[in-house]
Amino acid sequence: MNVYESLFTKMGDRKFLFKRFLAISLFRTFTMFGLFKSNPTKKMRKQYDALLEKAMHAQRNGDIKTYSLLTAQSEKLWKEIETLEKNTQGT
């Protein structure tokens, strides 16, 4: 009796373990290449777009003070996004 044969009682166990091994290997490969990595700037870009949209509506309604405040906030957020993207491209 082979050492490995004693580990498996049925042929189905081998198939199950082989499929599990393949799944784990593929998952490790995909994470290594960044397929499942989250994008840290994605949420910030949505906030940036929302701020610009609010600023546009404020400008259309004639509220220039709110427009300028929202535009300043969006510019600050955009600078943060750019620095994050530069840092992630460098690594």
Q: How far apart are CA 6 and CA 19, in angstroms?
A: 19
Tell how far CA 20 is from the center of its chain: 26
Q: In the chain, where are the structural domains located?
A: 3-32, 40-90
Q: What is the pLDDT of residue 18?
A: 74
Q: Which two tokens stand for residue 14?
A: 């081998």
Q: What is the pLDDT of residue 57?
A: 95
Query: By CB neighbour count within 10 A (0-12 exposed, 13-18 middle, 19+ buried), where does 41 fall?
Result: middle
Q: Which two tokens stand for residue 64?
A: 């220039």
Q: What is the pLDDT of residue 35?
A: 60
Q: The whole model's pTM is what?
A: 0.58
Q: Is the pLDDT of residue 23 over 50?
A: yes
| pLDDT tens digits along 33-87 | 666 567 778 899 999 999 999 999 999 999 999 999 999 999 999 999 999 988 8
